[in-house]
Amino acid sequence: MTSVLRSVILVCFLMLSVACSSLRGTGDLGVVIERATGSVQIIDTTQHVSLNRVSGMGDLSHAIVVYSRDERYAYVFGRDGGLTKIDILRGKIVKRIIQSGNSIGGAISQDGKLVAVSNYTPGGVKVFSSDTLKLQAIIPAAYGNEHKRSKVVGLVDAPGQRFVFSLYDAGQIWIADFSSGHPVITKFKNIGIHPYDGLITPDGRYYIAGLFGEDGLALLDLWHPEKGVKRILNDYGRGDKKMPVYKMPHLEGWAMTEDYAFLPEVGRNEVLVVNRHNWKRITSIAVHGQPVFVMARPDGRQVWVNFAYPRNDTVQVINTEKLRVIKTLKPGKAVLHMAFTPRGEQIWISARDANQVSVYDTANFNRIKILPMTKPSGIFLTDRADRIGL
């Protein structure tokens, strides 16, 4: 063997060794929004470290993230209408577009081929190829003899290659069915005044819209949409006393267990417990402040709650069998978001004003790690790729 050949083989071996050492999966990764700097940090939930920071994503004051089916690409929806595709393995932006003047969130289709964005300005939904971010469809949220455009909120993906969303100004819920390749729109009108957010149950059956302009919730059975929208929990809201609301709770943060739904009460220091089978109130649980996110651990045995300003340095844990608070934690000032690891052994909690993200053990409530970050808010782990409505 010549010295040249030996050199070539050695170089190839070294290159292969470097390539193999850099290989990794995406199942234990996630993204944390740094809202003040238009950046995200890519995290490893097994090693409890930040792997990379990606900048240049504009206004992330109300940012949502969804993932490709293979969990490699994160799609970041910014408040300024920006849609950014990130390669979380390479830690860089693949493509970024400004698709509207003001957007409020998005979703990815059941087959992973379409990314939909809900827009305030101009009101409507735009749908893009998840591969290229090429525009595929525009759905104007037109109402009032087609002369007005409504803000769109509560956009979720649903089984059957559908997107479901609410029209804030029009008081409507729309289904956009892409199963034939082109959107077929079904409209449900007069669902209530000013739907401000929406959620879909984990099994993909029910879409629920919260109402800002009146008490109650609007429920649509996606197995039987022909039955129309049903009003549930007519006393859910601010009531006659019109309690001061420091922050409207996010419906996406509802906790769903096998029998119960745990809802943040509006303007009250309570978590509402509802029977999931008939959507009737069971009881309320007194908590530290006005709940924002009420999130169930994946096994359903615990519910974790964070709170609105000014009592937003606290997180409480509810035992879902005993229906009472069993632990109070202080992760830092301005707790904004929480995310469980896929099997629920950890929870990651952002504290914006403390400039940190804390990792807690959900069995013993010990803090495992603190990661410094700049004004962190939303935490989005890659297991969202396998869940409906996230």
Domains of the chain: 50-232 (2.130.10.10), 245-390 (2.130.10.10)
Tally the C-alpha atoms within 13 A of residue 196's C-alpha that lie toward its C-beta.
14
Nearest to 221 by CA among 130, 169, 159: 159
Q: Name the pairing type of β-strands 346-351 and 302-307.
A: unpaired
Cα 21 to Cα 24, 25, 26, 49, 382, distances in angstroms: 8, 12, 15, 18, 22
Cα 302 to Cα 149, 284, 315, 344, distances in angstroms: 41, 16, 13, 10
Q: pLDDT averaged over the chain?
A: 91
Contact 189, 169 (CB under 8 A): no
Distance CA 113, CA 246 (A): 38
236 pLDDT tier (thresholds 50, 70, 90): confident
17 pLDDT tier (thresholds 50, 70, 90): very low
243 pLDDT tier (thresholds 50, 70, 90): low
- What's this model's pTM, rounded to 2 decimal places? 0.92
Two structure tokens written together for 46: 């097994």
Contact 135, 100 (CB under 8 A): no
Nearest to 54 by CA among 373, 387, 322: 373
Distance CA 154, CA 254 (A): 13
Q: What is the pLDDT of residues 152-162, one digit of tens each?
A: 999 999 999 99
